[in-house]
């Protein structure tokens, strides 16, 4: 028998256990006199202001080489197209984002459920037409469609609203009229084609869709914050997403005009089928905000009005950013079915509208 060791008091045992398990912790350095923390050279993180300041400093340092490089004719053409698209599009983008944030934050979400008919088939065209009251980027229509579903609106009507809102609101149609001053029929064709696509997709979902394909979304920055904070959160979100894609779209439009040989564009534009498919795919890849895409389409003057109408109808409904947002918000199973179907319907309806109205 091994003799038992006398038990230590509880406090001593606890102390010994903690001392044995605790890692070596360096002694805390007291703050300097005055209670202030030591100042860091770069701060806690480098933000957008610091990056912008660094870019301005680099532009000042290298202004002479940059001036020489920008003096070449091709770069001057690129800069002209880029700046013209941005100058025309930015006011519509800013106004649309602000108004979209106001509606998303200050209009009660229960209003939409009360305003729509109870019958799902009748709710689809009403929800599509209601898209005219939501001026804003398509990024904002995704969370609002989710909130409609959470409030009891049938998913078919909510999805019709999601597709119609970015395409038929007054800001988008006004921007289209400004971008195509000599073709007012483009405004009518875009509005009608987008409305028809939204209704067709709503009815298709009503017939073929399944509720378990949708995972309901939530935007805590809009749901849990005060109205003022939610408003600025919505503005920052939409400006960050829409503004970035607008810059990329303007750069792509300028690059197409400068880098792609004119004869290649003309060959593509002369083929009715290839021109439609090319601009449909381009709309998906560029992912331009709906308030600004008309100015990019207007710059592609080599293509027919019907091809550019396809670009304007497809873009606000199916593009890379929307597919990624829908996959993250509603679920991957939803996006894999909804996006290809919307693309096919949008191309077919836009071509039909172009044949009749343009």
Question: What is the DSSP-derived secondary structure letter of residue 217?
Answer: -
Full 3-state SS string of 230-293: HHHHHHHHHHHHHHHHHHHHHHHHHHHHHHCCHHHHHHHHHCHHHHHHHHHHHHHHHCCCCCCH
Residue 252 domain-assigned (yes or no) = yes
pLDDT at 184 > cutoff 80: yes
Residue 20 domain-assigned (yes or no) = no
253 compared with 285, residue with greater pLDDT: 285
pLDDT at 264: 82
pLDDT at 121 > cutoff 70: yes
Residue 308 domain-assigned (yes or no) = yes
What is the residue-averaged pLDDT of the chain? 76
CA–CA dist 30, 211 (Å, integer)? 59
Closest CA to 191 of 211, 214, 205, 172: 172
354 compared with 254, residue with greater pLDDT: 354
For 96-151, the DSSP string reads HHHHHHHHHHHS-THHHHHHS-SSHHHHHHHHHHHGGG--S-HHHHHHHHHHHHHT
Question: What is the DSSP-derived secondary structure letter of residue 2?
Answer: P
Residue 351 domain-assigned (yes or no) = yes
pLDDT at 287: 75
Global pTM value? 0.67
**CA–CA–CA angle 179, 180, 181 (5° rounding):** 105
Residue 291 domain-assigned (yes or no) = yes
Residue-wise pLDDT for 16-33, tens only, equals 444 444 444 445 445 544
pLDDT at 113 > cutoff 60: yes
When pLDDT is averaged across residues 126-155 and rounded to a whole number, the result is 71
215 compared with 336, residue with greater pLDDT: 336
How confident is residue 69, by pLDDT bands cut at 50, 70 and 90?
low
Structure-token pair, residue 340: 């290809």
Residue 317 domain-assigned (yes or no) = yes
Instruction: Please state, for a pLDDT cut of 70, what percent of the chain lies above it.
Output: 68
203 compared with 26, residue with greater pLDDT: 203
pLDDT at 252: 76
Residue 47 domain-assigned (yes or no) = no
pLDDT at 89 > cutoff 70: no
pLDDT at 347: 97
Q: Which residues contact 20 (CB under 8 A, 6 or more apart)?
A: none
How confident is residue 51, by pLDDT bands cut at 50, 70 and 90?
low
pLDDT at 200 > cutoff 90: yes
pLDDT at 114 > cutoff 60: yes
CA–CA dist 308, 188 (Å, integer)? 14
Closest CA to 161 of 201, 131, 191: 131
Residue 16 domain-assigned (yes or no) = no
pLDDT at 11 > cutoff 50: no
CA–CA dist 223, 220 (Å, integer)? 5
Q: Which of 167-171, 174-178, 250-254 has the lowest mean pLDDT?
A: 250-254
CA–CA dist 143, 158 (Å, integer)? 10
pLDDT at 93: 67
CA-to-CA dists, residue 204 to 200, 201, 208, angstroms: 6, 5, 6
CA–CA dist 79, 264 (Å, integer)? 22
Structure-token pair, residue 127: 């929800």
When pLDDT is averaged across residues 257-262 and rounded to a whole number, the result is 76
Q: Which of 227-236, 238-247, 269-278, 338-347 has the lowest mean pLDDT?
A: 238-247
CA–CA dist 98, 340 (Å, integer)? 31
Report the domain count for the chain. Answer: 1
pLDDT at 323 > cutoff 70: yes
The single residue listed with the structure tokens 């792509």 is 252
- φ, ψ of residue 39 to 5 degrees: the values are -80, 135
Its domain, for residue 302, covers 75-357
């Amino acid at each position: 028998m091994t003799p038992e060791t006398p038990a230590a008091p509880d406090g001593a045992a606890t102390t010994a256990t903690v001392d044995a398990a605790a890692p070596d912790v360096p002694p805390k350095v007291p703050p300097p006199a005055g209670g202030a923390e030591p100042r860091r050279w770069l701060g806690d993180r480098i933000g957008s202001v610091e990056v912008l300041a660094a870019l301005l400093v680099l532009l000042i340092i290298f202004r002479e080489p940059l001036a020489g490089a920008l003096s070449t004719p091709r770069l001057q053409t690129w800069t002209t197209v880029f700046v013209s698209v941005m100058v025309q599009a930015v006011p519509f983008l800013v106004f649309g984002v602000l108004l979209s944030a106001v509606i998303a934050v200050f209009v009660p979400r229960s209003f939409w459920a009360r305003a729509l008919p109870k019958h799902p088939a009748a709710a689809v065209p009403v929800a599509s037409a209601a898209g005219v009251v939501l001026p804003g980027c398509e990024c904002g229509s995704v969370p609002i469609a989710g909130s409609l579903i959470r409030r009891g609106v049938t998913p078919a009507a909510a999805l019709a609203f999601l597709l119609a809102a970015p395409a038929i609101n007054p800001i988008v149609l006004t921007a289209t009229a400004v971008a195509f001053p000599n073709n007012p029929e483009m405004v009518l064709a875009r509005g009608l084609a987008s409305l028809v696509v939204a209704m067709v997709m709503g009815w298709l979902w009503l017939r073929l869709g399944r509720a378990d394909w949708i995972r309901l979304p939530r935007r805590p920055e809009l749901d849990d914050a005060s109205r003022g904070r939610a408003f600025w959160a919505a503005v920052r979100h939409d400006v960050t997403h829409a503004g970035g894609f607008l810059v990329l779209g303007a750069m792509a439009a300028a690059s197409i005009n400068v880098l792609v040989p004119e004869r290649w564009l003309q060959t593509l534009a002369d083929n009715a089928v290839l021109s439609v498919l090319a601009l449909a795919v381009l709309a998906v890849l560029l992912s331009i905000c709906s308030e600004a895409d008309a100015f990019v389409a207007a710059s592609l003057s080599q293509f027919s009005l019907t091809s550019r109408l396809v670009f304007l109808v497809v873009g606000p409904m199916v593009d890379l950013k929307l597919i990624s947002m829908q996959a993250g918000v509603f679920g991957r199973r939803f996006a894999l079915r909804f996006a290809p179907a919307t693309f096919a319907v949008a191309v077919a309806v836009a071509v039909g509208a172009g044949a009749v109205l343009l």
